[in-house]
A and B are shown apart, each in its own frame.
Chain A
Amino acid sequence: MASSISKELSIRSWISQKLLLGKSFSAYVKDLQSPFNVIAAVILAVGLPITWIRFTKGIGAVSNLSNNNPWGLWIGVDVLSGVALAAGGFAVGTAVHLLGARKYHPVVRPAVLTGFLGYFFVVVGLCYDLGRPWRLPYPMIVSYGVTSVMFLVGWHVALYLTVQFVEFSPAVFEWLGWKKIREWAAKLTVIATVFGAILSTLHQSALGALFLLTPGKLHPLWYSPFLPVFFFISAIAAGITMVIFEGMLSHRIFGDQVSAADHHSFDDLTLGLGKAASAVLFTYFCLKWVGVAHDYRWAYLGTPMGRWFLLEVFAFILAPALLLFWATRIRRAELVRLGAVWAVTGVIFNRVNVSMVAMNWNNPDRYSPHWMEYVVTITVITVGLLTFRFIVNRMPVLYKHRDFDYEH
């Protein structure tokens, strides 16, 4: 009898320590009443019923997707942009673990967590878009469409989710206090990073390669045999700038978790990341022009779609590249952050253009998203943010756990 009481007590204290941030249940619930949580609750209150309609009445009941426009906001933003923005885990992981950029070690964990959750919620968003999402594992176990670029995307996203979980797992094991398994998982870091870099190279570019099959539908200024390269390079830019952006938010919201020394060096890391991002963006800018020149598309630049293309290339690639370059030269971290947000927006702008604006540009049946499609996208992002916060508040992501050694 006594032992069962003590067992119950220990479970209670485990729940309180690990899940409720050391508070009692009532105190925890009381502390949840913050403005952010109220907004999140409102979003979920609208988003969950729409989710219900989607999965009981069909895709058509909540979206403007059609036979002429089978892909819309969910593919353009949730999937294409989501995957690009989640490239930070691979970009920073490669730089630190493989290329020896040791000083960026503090940003690896938040970047890998952002990457892992990014991909996870890409899959969640994809489930709204797929007609039969419960068949998601079919390309892995039932029928292999090896001639399809989508087959590669499917496999790689699944494998990469696993790899990112392995990369992040030391933090989970530190939180649970499982030292042995944690040591074992940490040893896998280098090999997981190599595997992650291969998978990322291939599926980031594969997302661009999907559109190689649409030469007659995608506007000639966006259609290019270099689409895979464009997607890959811009994903690296998006990933790095997203790490800057995510770091800025984390330091504001979870500032108490970060030591004073880390706060100080944080600006230094931001400047370094900004420099890398500006170099990648300049490369991407030049490549876009190689694309125009390679297929001799100059004449299209004078058309309305051409002006839209120039807007993308100058205002959303070159401008943030210049700002990031200048800000790192004069060592102003807050300007780097502004440039980072701008660059992230630019990559989303590109994915939206490729999948929606420049797609079917010559078809009179144009698509614009239904309001419920926006709600679904916002709901998925909100749940992603809540999950991120849940983990950061509990696991050693922004700080080093005092019981563990970080030489790996």
Chain B
Amino acid sequence: MKIKRREFGKLLGAACLGATGSAKANEYFAGWPDSYGMLTDTTLCIGSNCRKCEEACKKVNNLPPHKTPLSDDSVFEKSRRTDSENFTVVNRFENAADPERPIYVKKQCMHCNEPACASACLVKAFTKTPEGLVIYNKDVCIGCRYCMVACPFNIPSYDYFDAFQPQVRKCTMCYDRIKEGKIPACAEICPKEAITFGKRKDLVDLARDKIRDHPDNYIHHIFGEHEAGGTGWIYLAGIDYGKIGFPDDLGQTPYPEYTRGFLSAVPLVLIIWPVMLIGFQKLSQRKENTSKQIRSSKEEG
């Protein structure tokens, strides 16, 4: 009964607005069915003297190799972010519960279900593919960098020192490899199996199983399951995500929602303004004409 009433309401709404499509679009989008995703289990990542995922990523994306050896742990002294030469970085965070065992967190594009970057792009350079990947088309990008401003995870980076063919750079979840039937390079190389590739819905199940089977190892929260409308890349952790570099004020609203209201007001202005303004113009003209008439009749009188 409830569903029926809701359906009726929807129909009514659609009839009034004249658009069934837009009524549907307002529903929560849980990602493409069967889309791929990744699960990073931060409790398994060893970080120190490893960073093999970073190296593998650089190799498949033809990025310049690391300047210091992977065994050099001094890179962990500063928190790093993704940039045009590093599509993924591992950062170290303090572990208050066990100071001997700091927490290592791999960072890269989250491949949001409804990406902020894609909704921000004025030339549609970003696509959320049916496979669940967020990819970038360098051939249309004009370089306004609104995607970087919009991304809540601060992931996309820019070639600031290229004057002629600068690009926005970020992880593609190894789009080309997936097309070839391979799995993303970082997931393949990880010696601790901290990164799992699979169908997103299976990964959510897997993450839930892990939490249920080892309740002492994990907090009861899969990061990315619902954050910003859900992300393709999800995480498990033993402590609060806010303490290991994740934005903890994201909410569950998909980013395109934030500008939807404004954009839907645009056609209203386009239709109402001209009528209203020309109306004002006619009114003021009439007023002017009347006062002219009064003046001339007075002069005559």
Q: Which of B143, B283, B288 contacts A132 (CB 8 A)?
A: B143
Chain B positions 239-298 with a Cβ under 8 Å from a chain A Cβ: 247, 249-251, 255-256, 258-259, 261-263, 266, 269-270, 273-274, 277-278, 280-281, 283-285, 287-288
Q: Are B166 and A213 in contact (CB under 8 A)?
A: no
Known A-B contacts A198-B274, A213-B120; the reply to A143 vs B125 at CB < 8 A is yes
Chain B positions 149-204 with a Cβ under 8 Å from a chain A Cβ: 149-150, 152, 154, 156-163, 165-167
Smallest beta-carbon distance A202→chain B, Å = 6
Known A-B contacts A58-B166, A67-B157, A67-B158; the reply to A152 vs B263 at CB < 8 A is yes
Q: Are B256 and A147 in contact (CB under 8 A)?
A: yes
Chain A residues with Cβ below 8 Å from B32 are: none
Q: Are B161 and A57 in contact (CB under 8 A)?
A: yes
Bound: A197/B251 CA distance, A: 37
A151 in contact (CB, < 8 A):
yes
Chain A residues with Cβ below 8 Å from B261 are: 225
Output the nearest chain A residue to B155 by Cβ-Cβ distance: A67
Chain B residues with Cβ below 8 Å from A102 are: 288
Bound: A66/B82 CA distance, A: 12
Contact with B along A93-110 (1 / 0, CB 8 A): 010011110100000000
B222 in contact (CB, < 8 A):
no
Q: How large is the interface on B (under 10, 10 to 19, 20 to 34, 35 or more residues)?
A: 35 or more
Contact with B along A189-230 (1 / 0, CB 8 A): 010011101100110011001101111110000000100100
Bound: A41/B262 CA distance, A: 44
Smallest beta-carbon distance A293→chain B, Å = 19
Secondary structure class of chain A's binding surface, majority of residues: helix
A349 in contact (CB, < 8 A):
no
Q: Once A and B bind, how many residue pairs between them come within 8 Å at the CB atom?
A: 179
A4 in contact (CB, < 8 A):
no
Smallest beta-carbon distance A201→chain B, Å = 6
Q: Are A138 and B273 in contact (CB under 8 A)?
A: no
Bound: A138/B163 CA distance, A: 18
Smallest beta-carbon distance A44→chain B, Å = 21
A177 in contact (CB, < 8 A):
no
Bound: A131/B163 CA distance, A: 7
Output the nearest chain A residue to B279 by Cβ-Cβ distance: A98
Smallest beta-carbon distance A70→chain B, Å = 4
Q: Are B285 and A57 in contact (CB under 8 A)?
A: no
Bound: A61/B81 CA distance, A: 21
Output the nearest chain A residue to B147 by Cβ-Cβ distance: A70
Known A-B contacts A99-B280, A194-B274, A214-B149; the reply to A148 vs B262 at CB < 8 A is no
Q: Are B259 and A209 in contact (CB under 8 A)?
A: yes
Output the nearest chain B residue to A54 by Cβ-Cβ distance: B163
Q: Which of B116, B123, B144, B159 contacts A58 (CB 8 A)?
A: B159
Q: Which residue, of B116, B123, B266, B288, has the highest number of chain A Cβ atoms within 10 A?
A: B123
Q: Are A147 and B280 in contact (CB under 8 A)?
A: no
Smallest beta-carbon distance B79→chain A, Å = 9
Please, how many residues of chain A have a CB less than 8 angstroms from a CB on the other chain?
A: 63
Q: Are A67 and B163 in contact (CB under 8 A)?
A: no
Q: Are A70 and B142 in contact (CB under 8 A)?
A: no
B42 in contact (CB, < 8 A):
no
Chain B residues with Cβ below 8 Å from A384 are: none
Bound: A195/B256 CA distance, A: 28
Q: Are B122 and A145 in contact (CB under 8 A)?
A: yes
Q: Are B284 and A67 in contact (CB under 8 A)?
A: no
A150 in contact (CB, < 8 A):
yes
Output the nearest chain B residue to A206 by Cβ-Cβ distance: B262
Chain B residues with Cβ below 8 Å from A57 are: 161, 163
Q: Which of B119, B142, B150 contacts A214 (CB 8 A)?
A: B150
Chain A residues with Cβ below 8 Å from B143 are: 130-133, 135
Output the nearest chain A residue to B271 by Cβ-Cβ distance: A198
Q: Are A197 and B259 in contact (CB under 8 A)?
A: no
A142 in contact (CB, < 8 A):
yes
Known A-B contacts A132-B141, A202-B269, A209-B259; the reply to A139 vs B122 at CB < 8 A is yes
B118 in contact (CB, < 8 A):
yes
Chain A residues with Cβ below 8 Å from B52 are: none
Q: Are B123 and A139 in contact (CB under 8 A)?
A: yes
B145 in contact (CB, < 8 A):
yes
Bound: A61/B120 CA distance, A: 26
Output the nearest chain B residue to A228 by Cβ-Cβ distance: B262
Chain A residues with Cβ below 8 Å from B149 are: 70-71, 210, 213-214, 217
Q: Which of A67, A138, A143 contacts B154 (CB 8 A)?
A: A67
Q: Are A216 and B81 in contact (CB under 8 A)?
A: no
Q: Are B277 and A197 in contact (CB under 8 A)?
A: yes
Q: Are B154 and A130 in contact (CB under 8 A)?
A: no
Q: Are A149 and B259 in contact (CB under 8 A)?
A: yes
Q: Which residue, of A136, A194, A201, A213, has the highest number of chain B Cβ atoms within 10 A?
A: A213
- 14 additional contacts, CB 8 Å, given A131-B144, A194-B278? A57-B163, A58-B163, A67-B84, A67-B157, A70-B145, A99-B280, A131-B159, A136-B142, A148-B122, A149-B259, A153-B122, A209-B262, A213-B149, A216-B249
* 30 CB < 8 A contacts A-B: A58-B159, A58-B160, A60-B161, A63-B160, A67-B83, A70-B148, A97-B281, A98-B281, A100-B280, A102-B288, A130-B142, A131-B141, A131-B143, A131-B167, A135-B142, A138-B142, A145-B123, A145-B124, A149-B262, A149-B263, A198-B273, A201-B269, A206-B262, A209-B262, A210-B146, A213-B149, A215-B251, A216-B152, A216-B249, A228-B262
Q: Which 6 A-B residue pairings sit nearest by Cβ, starting from the closest?
A: A131-B143, A100-B284, A60-B160, A70-B145, A151-B122, A150-B122
